[in-house]
Structures are given as structure tokens and as C-alpha cells.
Amino acid sequence: MKIGLIGLGIMGKPMAKNLMKGGYTDLLVSDLNRDSVAEIVAAGAKAATNREIGESCDLVLTMLPNSPQVEAVMLGEEGVGAYMKPGSTFIDMSSINPVNAKKIAAELAKRGVEMLDSPVSGGEPKAIDGTLSFMVGGKQEVFDKFKPVLATMGASVVRCGDVGAGNTTKLANQIIVACNIQALAEALTLARKAGVDPQLVFEAIRGGLAGSTVMNAKAPMMIAANDKPGFMVDLHIKDLNNALDCAHTVGVPLPMTAEVMEVLQWLHNREGGRKDHSAMIQYYEHLTGIELGR
């Protein structure tokens, strides 16, 4: 199977490497960043234009920032979709608005091209070790055919429904993650302000009901004042914008999501957009005048 992967950012690069480790070595790659392309070519892939990918690949994957980029790559002038063969498949692993995913799928269907929307969760660490969670929308038979491909990059690959369901599930995931990080930041700030060591609080509660993957990943970063991005603030802002937009479309109130968005926007406006989303702790440090990090 010849596979094309467009998008070699923080997530896309390690995902490309895991594809090849999983046996999918006939891999063509494309990205605007030439250094990223060169790195993946050095690992065994081949550089190609988007047109070459569309014309020659049985499966096209994208890992791009948001809906406009995916639409431009697939449906824009000289878009990949125009060159894909009937019977080929497109899997978008980006996190975009479900409405846009359905639009792209409908346009590709006119050309005989199948589509799965398959956003991921886990950030850079899980992209590197190949344990991402894939939330997939699309036809059952298409999912069954390409699940092994996704499984080379993830520990969990679950079909959630038809096209659009994958991104709807991802939006739900991002709401839960963001609200958990904000709650964690508040709790550890309370501990520090009350004179209790946040590290000991973390160790005491991590095995109880409050414990979570989010806590295990983000509490040590907050305590160590480490805001190196595993998942950037600006990307979470993008996801929550999509969640709020989708919610407004279907008529669902998301007051907690809106509140977390304000904290993330505060960080963005203070040059924190490229920090890890655990940097939400810095908002509370600003409010209280204390520093959680050791």
C-alpha cells in the first residue's frame, strides 16, 4: 500500500516514523517546512508534491492545524483531492470542525474517494511512542480496512459513527482535558497558598477518584515550572473554538468551556500561545502572586 502523509509538525513527524516502523515503508511525505521533510526522508520516506501524492497513493493522510488548511490541501486549487483515484481513501487525522469534515467528505465522494475523519488525542509524547488514541468517523467497512494503519500510530482506534463523529468525539475530549487542567491549576494553587506542598498533594490524591491521565501528565509539569509544549495553548484554543462553534450550531450550552477559553486567551495575549496548555497555572500565579513551580 502506498501512503501519502501531508503535515509533519509536532505530531506528524513521529507519526510518520511510526508508520514506517509498522511496516508501511512506501511513504510519500509533504510539508511546508523543508527541514521536517528532510528529517522524515532521512528516516526512509520519499518527498513528494501534493499532486504526486494524490496521483500515486492508495491512502492519503493529513495532520494539519485546522479546517481551513485541510480544505485548502484537499479541495483548493490544485488540491490533492482533484488527483486522487476513484477507490482511494482520505483519512484526516487533524482536529477540525465536524461540519467541515462532512463537507470535505461530501466533495470527495463525488469523485469516488472515501473518507474517515480520525483526530487523535495524546499529544507529542504519545505520538512519539505510538500510543495515541484515534477517534474515527466513517463507514464501517472503510474503518475496518484501514484500522491496522492507524494502529501503528496508536494504542486505541475506535469508530464513533459516520463521518464527523470522530471530530465530535475529539471536541468532547478537548473540553474534558481543558477543564481538568484548569481544575488542577486551581487545586494546586490552593495547596501552595495554604502552605501545603503541591507535590505531596499530587502524590496523595493521584490514586483516588481525582486521579487522571491529565493529572499524571500535567501536575509534574506545573510543579517543575515546565511549559515546554506537548500540546500548545494555541492549538487548544483552536479546538475549543471549534467546540463552541459546533455547540452554537446544535444549541448546546458550554459555560465551562467558555471560561477555560478565557484563561487560554489570556495566555495567548501574553505571548504564551506556544507554551504547553498546562501553562494555565501561570494565570493563577498572576492572580495570586505566588509561583507554584519549584
Query: Is 218 assigned a catalytic role?
Result: no
- For the chain, the residue count is 294
> Which bin fits 87, alpha (ψ -120 to 50), beta or left (φ > 0)?
left
Round to whole Å and give the CA distance between 261 and 182. Answer: 10
On the 0-12 / 13-18 / 19+ scale of CB atoms within 10 A, 135 is buried
CA of 99: how far to CAs of 72, 119, 168, in Å? 15, 14, 9
Please state the separation of Cα 22 from the chain's center in Å.
21
Give the cell for residue 258.
Answer: 467558555
Q: What is the dihedral of CA 42, 150, 53, 117, to 10 degrees?
A: -140
Give the cell for residue 270.
Answer: 501574553
Contact 248, 240 (CB under 8 A): no
User: Looking at 17, 126, 170, 218, which residue is catalytic?
Assistant: 170
Residue from 123, 114, 122 nearest 92 by CA:
114
Please state the separation of Cα 269 from the chain's center in Å.
22
Round to whole Å and give the CA distance between 3 and 40. Answer: 14
Residue from 59, 50, 116, 53 nearest 87 by CA:
59
Tell me the CA end-to-end span of the chain in Å, nearest whole number.
50
On the 0-12 / 13-18 / 19+ scale of CB atoms within 10 A, 163 is buried
* Residue positions annotated with a catalytic role: 170
